[in-house]
Amino acid sequence: MVSRVIPVDPFDLVIFGGTGDLARRKILPGLFRRFIAGQMPEGSRIIGAARSEHDDAEYREVARAAIEEFGGEEKKDPALQDFLGRLHYVAIDATGEGGWSQLSGLMRDGVVRAFYFSVAPSLFGPLAERLHQHRIADGDSRIVVEKPFGRDLESAKALNATLASHFDERQIYRIDHYLGKETVQNLMAIRFGNVLFEPLWNSHYVDHIQITVAETVGVGGRGAYYDKSGAMRDMVQNHLMQLLCLIAMEPPAQFEADAVRDEKLKVIRALQPVDAHHIVRGQYDAGEDSPSYRQDSENPRSFTESFVAMRVMIANWRWAGVPFYLRTGKKLKARSSEIAVVFKDLGHSMFEGDEARHRNILSIRLQPNEGIDLQVTIKEPGPGGMRLVDVPLDMTFADALGPDGEDVPDAYERLIMDVIRGNQTLFMRGDEVEAAWAWTDPIIEGWERRADVPKLYEQGTGGPEDAQMLIHRDGRRWRDIKG
């Protein structure tokens, strides 16, 4: 099978924060992979922009070093030199006047102009203002806005208003890199591309749904940011919420930006408030040889959560009474992200002596080993009569699709190419982000009001004991976190 590369128009992509961690770790290596794949047409340029003084040659060395450090196999590709030749640099201050006329002079007509805000969120507004003031952005330009998009409803509204005073909504690409992950898109393909699942996708057949995003990393290196954020703002309000929307939304009429985003918004608006009883916060303790969260964040009195588990209900016809259990945390036992749709038990077993509960479980593995797995019940092989056993019908995309199944763009690559193509389907709309904050704000405010103390949990486990209780109380259990 040969991967299809959809052509894009020539573009100028300006990366504000082009020397920063995200640019070096993800954006530049990703763009090099797209260059190799033929998605950077002749005449396209990448312009790094940050305060530090560099000329083009020095910036190319920054990019070369980044690709060497963070790139994969592609770093050995002889096309690297040609790619670096497409890079330019402007020293610019987002909050001052330095560099703007130089950037303005670099802009060309006849190519797509995209501006990636890979800088601290406090600079999103000043960048938008200056792009507008200096007439660097035209009516077809796109801006890509990184997370976090605000830290509550009020700040998200203010940021939306600032951006809206300079750009139309169709020009604003709010990034959630989970939406760019291959398997997250597969979620929609599995749901809406198979006749098999949709009839069962409701409260008549689904017992509950589990969404897990487990990480083994801690917050070392990003402690200052994370400690003001916590798992709720960092992961739940955006990534987990987006997964929840995709799994729960009604079928959109088309796979088109507003059709998909309208349906996601309806899910967020139908979320019931979560009471304290249905949510557990945790913070990782010190391990034998590894620091605690408080040490990593350099805040010895921190009450920020590095883990959240919660039971969420959606008040609509399709999902009435079906719990969605969400959990995410750092320093857990494995890196594993999965959505599991657990179907109801059979109403009656015709097989004598079969007392086990048999249930179908559709598990969509987002990472690692992207794939799907459907647990089905079959007869145990051998002469032992009609004894039933549950087995997985397992498909790893890499196995099923061969080497090309592995050769897929990573989330950032895909999303940047969508920006150039002008496709907003996998980006969050302003009202979606606000609705998500409107739902999370009361939860966070409740913690602050009660001075809630997160439960400590042992590193390398599934989180605090209370998270087990959260689901056990309902007579269910979490799926194992397996890497």
State yes or no: residue 146 binds ligand LXAUTJHC (CB under 6 A): no
CB of 48 to ligand NDP, least distance (A): 8
Residue in the structure block whose two tokens are 């830290």: 151
Query: Closer to ligand NDP at the Cβ: 27 or 249?
Result: 27
Residue 20, annotated as binding a ligand: yes
Of residues 215-234, which lie at the interface with ligand LXAUTJHC (CB under 6 A)? Answer: 215, 234
Query: Closer to ligand LXAUTJHC at the Cβ: 234 or 370?
Result: 234
Query: Closer to ligand LXAUTJHC at the Cβ: 367 or 377?
Result: 367
CB of 215 to ligand LXAUTJHC, least distance (A): 5
CA distance 245 to 261: 9
CB 420 within 8 A of CB 225: no
Biggest distance spanned by C-alpha atoms of the chain: 82
What b/e readout covers 63-99, taking b as 16+ CB neighbours within 10 angstroms?
Answer: bbebbeeebeebbebeebeebbebbbbbbbebeeeeb
With CB under 5 to 8 Å by kind, the binding choice for 22 among ligand LXAUTJHC, ligand NDP, none is ligand NDP
Residue 94, annotated as binding a ligand: no
With CB under 5 to 8 Å by kind, the binding choice for 94 among ligand LXAUTJHC, ligand NDP, none is ligand NDP
Is 54 catalytic? The answer is no
Assess whether the previous peptide bond of 291 is cis (omega < 30° from 0): no
State yes or no: residue 207 binds ligand LXAUTJHC (CB under 6 A): no
CB 334 within 8 A of CB 317: no
Binding site for ligand NDP (CB under 6 A): 16-23, 25, 50-52, 92-95, 118-121, 123, 146-148
Residue 12, annotated as binding a ligand: no
> Hey, which bits of 382-439 come out as E strands?
388-396
Q: Which two tokens stand for residue 118?
A: 């890979």
CB 185 within 8 A of CB 426: yes
CB of 417 to ligand NDP, least distance (A): 18
Strand 361-367 to strand 371-379: parallel, antiparallel, or no bridges (unpaired)?
antiparallel
Residue 348, annotated as binding a ligand: no
CA distance 435 to 267: 10
In a 3-state reduction of DSSP, which class is residue 453?
A: coil
> Hey, which bits of 184-306 come out as E strands?
206-214, 279-284
Residue 177, annotated as binding a ligand: yes
Query: Closer to ligand NDP at the Cβ: 234 or 285?
Result: 234
Query: Closer to ligand LXAUTJHC at the Cβ: 215 or 338?
Result: 215
State yes or no: residue 296 binds ligand LXAUTJHC (CB under 6 A): no
Assess whether the previous peptide bond of 368 is cis (omega < 30° from 0): yes
CB 246 within 8 A of CB 264: yes
**Residue tagged active-site, from 166, 208, 239, 278:** 239
With CB under 5 to 8 Å by kind, the binding choice for 215 among ligand LXAUTJHC, ligand NDP, none is ligand LXAUTJHC
CB of 146 to ligand NDP, least distance (A): 4
Residues that bind ligand LXAUTJHC (CB under 6 A): 215, 234
Residue positions annotated with a catalytic role: 239
